[in-house]
Amino acid sequence: MYKAELVGVLGCPVAENPTGVMQEAAFQAVGLNWRYLTIEVQPENLADAIRGVRAFGMRGLNLTIPHKVAVIAHLDDLTPAARAIGAVNTVRREDGRLIGENTDGKGFLRGLRADAGRDPAGQRVVILGAGGAARAIATELALAGATELTVVNRTASRAEAMIADLAAATGLGARYVPWVGPYAVPPDADILVNATSIGLFPDTGAMPDVDLDSAPPHLLVADAVFNPPETRLLAAAKARGLAVLDGLSMLVYQGVIGFEYWTGQAAPEAVMKDALRRALSGE
């Protein structure tokens, strides 16, 4: 059969997004004639792009910055998780309809357990940021039993909206801390998550304005930034002897979940991890 099934990612900018390398390696490993397209779409062209997705019969999509919220208006339905989070990073075609899902938080949670060996139940979590990634991660951590959640963000209205939505979806009452100057990590925190894009390529010299001096020795520092895999934040945490979880973990596992969501087959996790690490190391 010569006809390939199509999936892809829409974003702006998207040239440095390595998801296609990971998914193409997975398709090849399991013998699927599928192709993953990396497509740059300006915000004003998103509606036309989704019409194109429908016209091409594409089997699914990933969405990245800045389309995760805007795409919702162009879809037929959302899963309960995506509706609770208010952002979509994965779409699948089902009986001709486009269904939005959010696998970011699920990918983070899977990596937290599998790669960091940390169960979020009973944990005190600090999340930097209040965007789509922060919402997804916070929602999944709350559903998994995190007992305290602090949202650190510069814009109060955005953080307060996230906290209200989180409470409605999960019942967990998070608290907001204004991000003014260096944020001092509290000594009773268990997990610190950078859910902002600070430190993402090409701004690899940037680091979230946090002070790790008071961080407890058991603190796990996690970064949603995947490129570079070792951000300045993670390097600083390692220098203090703290456990870390890099953004590759979340990216791989959300990709694994997306692969299974689209194809109905088990994903070759090891192949996907290896392809992603090779791509980001320039091999």
Please list the pLDDT of the chain residue by residue as tens digits (283 residues). 688 999 999 999 898 889 999 999 999 999 999 999 999 999 999 999 999 999 999 999 999 988 998 999 999 999 988 998 888 999 999 999 999 999 999 999 999 999 999 999 999 999 999 988 899 999 999 999 999 999 999 999 999 999 999 999 999 999 999 999 999 999 999 999 999 999 988 888 999 999 999 999 999 999 999 888 999 999 999 999 999 999 999 999 999 999 999 999 999 999 999 999 898 887 6
> Are both 66 and 172 inside the same structural domain?
no
Q: Are residues 159 and 63 part of one domain?
A: no
HSE-up (13 A, CA, CB side) for residue 180: 4
Cα angle 85-36-104, degrees, rounded to a multiple of 5: 20
| pLDDT value, residue 96 | 93
Residue type, 231: T
Domain span at residue 142 reads 105-245
Asked whether residue 195 falls in the same domain as residue 273, the answer is no
Question: Contact 232/219 with Cβ under 8 angstroms?
Answer: no
Check residue 74 and give its pLDDT: 98
Considering the domain architecture, whether residues 28 and 141 belong to the same structural domain is answered as: no
Whether 181 and 124 map to the same domain: the answer is yes
Grouping H, G, I as helix, E, B as strand and the rest as coil, residue 181 is coil
Residue 174 and residue 163 share a domain: yes
- How far apart, in whole angstroms, are the C-alpha atoms of residue 23 and residue 160? 36
Give the residues across from 128 on adjacent strands: 152, 194
The CATH number that applies at residue 201 is: 3.40.50.720
User: In this predicted structure, what is the pLDDT of residue 65?
Assistant: 84
- Choose among 109, 91, 67: nearest CA to 224: 109
Query: How many domains does the chain divide into?
Result: 2
137 shares a domain with 28: no
CA 236 – CA 269 distance, rounded (Å): 29
Residue 153's beta-bridge partner residues?
178
**Are 229 and 115 within one domain?**
yes
Tokens describing residue 171: 């019942």
Cβ atoms 223, 231 nearer than 8 A = yes
CATH of the domain at 261: 3.40.50.10860
Tokens of 77: 């339905």
Nearest to 74 by CA among 92, 47, 103, 37: 47
The per-residue pLDDT for 1 is 65
Catalytic residues: 68
Q: Are 133 and 158 in contact (CB under 8 A)?
A: no
- Are 198 and 258 part of one and the same domain? no
Pair (75, 132) in one structural domain: no
Whether residue 130 sits in one domain with residue 62: no
Whether 149 and 226 map to the same domain: the answer is yes
